[in-house]
């Protein structure tokens, strides 16, 4: 911990705070403290890349465990031959299983405090906006088991929502365990999200783009390296457990002719309307029924899902088997239209009433069935069309995802990796952008998760300055050149404190810090008190601390510059004290002035 003597450097990296003569555990702790300070910098690329690999490995292991739990529970119980065969169940099971699952989820969640019940990508984004990405472990545990129950019960939900939360929390908890600064934990959250999507779909590129485009809402060149490495590590573990095959076996797809592009655009418009209805429906149900008791809401969601399953059993569970059948042309026009409509209303009920499943997987089912239906209609109108209905099903998948999440680039990367066919890119761009424009411009819908956040009174947006400040920790810019002086220090004591030319004076009363002021301002104050001397040889007024010390703010060592600026604004101060706890003499790490934060923002761009 810094002593009263000012240290020798303003900024520090690895090795700056290490003291000679330390041995054993003390030297290791000092080296790790230096590593944390190094990670506070916005360009700590090597350290973040190493952490990205570790986060990807942890995330991949957790995702594999989640998949094994959801895929084998009913099989081992003897209820179904495989995890996707809900259609083989009797009508009693199709109605009763979702209701029982909803009731079980409600009772489980009621055992936890209200704060621990917040789960899913919305919770991840809210924690990024307000807590620097520090995700609690209780919410992650509840998401893991609650999401598994929801999927096993046949609710119309996806796997991606739970794995995004669990993956992000796994990476965040790794950073919290290592006591890393918040800017590094924020990057680790992106690593966890990318690893979760990559391991779930076997789409590492789409996982990276999804993390940056949907959750982080920003692209940074330095942020890509650790996120990419995390996706690679998580996908590698998924390969060990499930092999390298993608989530769907897509048949060979012919190149679409230019004459079919208007029909592709029409597909995009129809899917864009469906995406707008999906986003608006989930938000509206969430707003209208949020006041109901939790157990009642989850049970109602299960009952509504079960009723829809009586009409179209394909809407139960993840629905990946339905997508696979659609891609090989195994479902007729009427069934496709019915499944798309029932999946839409069932998922709105499940998502809006608070079941802890994902909202992304159903987008794929809705888009594939709607696209397949439009493909069949198109072939009936133009029998000689080169593109098969399966091609339109693939286009519908990515159009629905791109419009609902308003992440066109992530959707295009997904279709490229899922089909392994570059012929899908041109028509995919037409379908995705058309659907995106219809949902965004015609219906003025926000992205799914942002829409839910705003309906709950939160706004997940950062201006460019705030984003730059989020990328830098306080340790990267804080000054360690400070001297500690007593509140009643006389002129001689102040002269001694200024011998080392500190940037700041930390004023204490006993052990408590009572003030922070720039060391240069002390000399200026003495000159002001002396006034304009008529005699050039007149003696200057003795140096003294001001009677009223300026206000200062405090932040923890793991804080970002955005948090430091917010603390300054709240206190209307010009300096913030970086400390390891309370504002105590032996807890001080450094001092940051408002001008240092402005400089850090420029360096973060």
Average pLDDT over residues 205-228: 83
- 356, burial (CB in 10 Å: exposed 0-12, middle 13-18, buried 19+): buried
Average pLDDT over residues 465-483: 85
Would you state the pLDDT for residue 221?
A: 66
Q: What is the pLDDT of residues 295-320, one digit of tens each?
A: 999 999 999 999 999 999 999 999 99
How does strand 575-579 pair with strand 588-593? antiparallel
Residue 45: the pLDDT is 86
DSSP symbols for 136-192:
-HHHHHHHHHHHHHHHHTT-S-BSHHHHHHHHHHHHHHHHHHTT--HHHHHHHHHHH
Which domains, and CATH codes, for the chain?
A: 24-38+472-604 (3.10.580.10), 45-242 (1.10.3080.10), 258-464 (1.10.3080.10)
Predicted local distance difference test score (pLDDT) of residue 532: 52
CA distance linking residue 51 with residue 568, whole number of Å:
31
**What is the rounded end-to-end Cα distance, in angstroms, of the chain?**
32
Model confidence over 127-140: pLDDT tens digits?
988 888 899 999 99
- For 243: left if phi > 0, alpha if psi spans -120 to 50, otherwise beta; the answer is left
Contact 369, 339 (CB under 8 A): yes
Q: What are the beta bridge partners of residue 507?
A: 485, 515
Mean pLDDT taken over the chain: 86
**Arithmetic mean of pLDDT, 316-328:** 92
Q: Which range in 331-340, 414-423, 584-593 is most confidently predicted, on average pLDDT?
A: 331-340
Residue 162: pLDDT over 60: yes
Chain segment 20-64, per-residue pLDDT in tens: 444 556 777 778 778 888 888 877 889 999 999 999 999 999 889
Give one DSSP letter per residue of 24-74, joined into a string.
Answer: HHHHHHHHHHHHHHHHTSTT-HHHHHHHHHHHHHHHHHHHHHHHHHHHHHH
pLDDT at 528: 47
Give 238-252 pLDDT, tens digit per residue: 999 988 887 777 777
For residue 317 the two structure tokens come to 């569970």
Nearest partner of 227 among 360, 410, 408, judged by Cα: 410
Which pTM does this prediction carry? 0.83
Distance (Å) of CA 581 to CA 340, 450, 578: 55, 34, 9
Please report the pLDDT score of residue 141 as a whole number: 96
Share of the chain above pLDDT 90, in %: 54
pLDDT at 460: 63
Give yes or no for a contact between 152 and 316, defined as CB atoms under 8 angstroms apart. Answer: no
Residues 197-215 pLDDT 10s? 998 888 899 999 999 888 8
Q: Within a 13 Å sphere around the CA of 516, how many CA atoms are in the beta-carbon half?
A: 29
| Most confident by average pLDDT, 28-42, 158-172, 446-460, 482-496 | 158-172
The residue ranking higher by pLDDT, 4 or 407, is 407
Burial pattern 504-525, b for ≥16 Cβ within 10 A else e, equals: bbbbbeeeebebbbbbeebeeb
The model's pLDDT over 579-600, given as tens digits with 9 standing for 90+, comes to: 988 888 888 999 999 888 877 6
* Arithmetic mean of pLDDT, 368-372: 96
Element (H, E) at 453: helix 448-455
Provide the 3-class DSSP secondary structure of residue 591: strand
Give the C-alpha separation, 181 to 556, whole Å: 9
- For residue 463, the model assigns a pLDDT of 61
Q: What is the DSSP letter of 605?
A: -
């Amino acid at each position: 911990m810094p002593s009263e003597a000012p240290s020798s450097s303003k900024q520090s990296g690895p090795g700056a705070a290490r003291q000679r003569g330390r041995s054993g555990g003390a030297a290791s702790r000092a080296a790790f403290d230096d590593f944390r300070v190094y990670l506070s910098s916005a360009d700590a690329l090597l350290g973040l890349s190493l952490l990205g690999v570790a986060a990807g490995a942890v995330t991949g292991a957790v995702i594999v465990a989640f998949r094994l739990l959801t895929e084998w529970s009913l099989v081992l119980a003897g209820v179904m031959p495989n995890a996707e065969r809900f259609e083989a169940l009797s009508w009693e099971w199709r109605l009763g299983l979702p209701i029982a699952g909803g009731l079980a989820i409600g009772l489980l969640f009621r055992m936890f405090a209200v704060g621990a019940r917040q789960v899913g990508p919305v919770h991840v984004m809210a924690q990024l906006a307000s807590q620097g990405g520090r995700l609690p472990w209780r919410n992650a545990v509840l998401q893991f088991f609650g999401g598994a129950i929801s999927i096993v019960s046949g609710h119309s939900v996806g796997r991606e929502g739970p794995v995004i939360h669990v993956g992000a929390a796994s990476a965040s908890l790794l950073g919290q365990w290592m006591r890393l600064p918040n800017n590094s934990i924020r990057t680790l959250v992106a690593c966890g999200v990318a690893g979760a999507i990559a391991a779930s779909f076997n789409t590492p590129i789409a996982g990276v783009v999804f993390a940056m485009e949907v959750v982080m809402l920003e692209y940074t060149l330095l942020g890509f390296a650790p996120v990419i490495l995390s996706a690679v590590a998580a996908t590698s573990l998924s390969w060990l457990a499930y092999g390298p095959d993608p989530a769907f076996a897509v048949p060979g797809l012919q190149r679409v002719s230019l004459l079919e592009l208007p029909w592709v655009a029409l597909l995009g418009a129809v899917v864009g309307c469906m995406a707008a209805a999906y986003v608006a429906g989930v938000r509206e149900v969430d707003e209208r029924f949020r006041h109901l008791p939790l157990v009642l809401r989850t049970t109602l969601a299960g009952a509504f899902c079960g009723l829809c399953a009586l009409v179209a059993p394909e809407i139960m569970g993840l629905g990946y088997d339905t997508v696979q059948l659609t891609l090989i042309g195994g479902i007729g026009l009427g069934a496709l239209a019915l499944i798309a409509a029932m999946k839409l209303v069932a998922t709105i009920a499940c998502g809006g009433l608070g079941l802890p499943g994902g909202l992304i997987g159903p987008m794929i089912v809705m888009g594939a069935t709607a696209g397949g239906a439009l493909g069949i209609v198109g072939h009936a109108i133009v029998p000689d069309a080169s593109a098969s209905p399966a091609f339109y099903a693939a286009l519908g998948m990515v159009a629905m995802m791109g419009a609902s999440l308003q992440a066109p680039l992530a959707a295009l990367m997904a279709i490229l990796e899922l089909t392994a066919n570059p012929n899908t890119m041109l028509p995919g761009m037409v379908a995705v952008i058309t659907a995106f424009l219809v949902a965004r411009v015609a219906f003025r819908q926000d992205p799914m998760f942002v829409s839910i956040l705003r309906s709950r009174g939160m706004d997940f947006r950062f201006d460019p300055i705030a984003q730059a400040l989020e990328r830098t920790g306080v340790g990267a810019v804080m000054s360690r050149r400070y001297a500690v002086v007593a509140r009643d220090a006389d002129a001689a004591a102040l002269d001694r404190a200024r011998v080392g030319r500190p940037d700041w004076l930390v004023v204490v009363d006993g052990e408590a810090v009572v003030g922070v002021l720039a060391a240069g301002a002390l000399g200026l104050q003495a000159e002001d008190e002396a006034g304009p001397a008529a005699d050039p040889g007149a003696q200057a007024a003795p140096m003294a601390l001001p009677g009223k010390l300026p206000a200062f703010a405090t932040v923890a060592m793991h804080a970002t510059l955005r948090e430091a600026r917010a603390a300054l604004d709240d206190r209307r101060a010009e300096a913030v004290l970086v400390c390891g706890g309370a504002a105590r003499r032996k807890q001080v790490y450094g001092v940051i002035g408002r001008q240092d934060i402005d400089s850090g923002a420029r360096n973060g761009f």
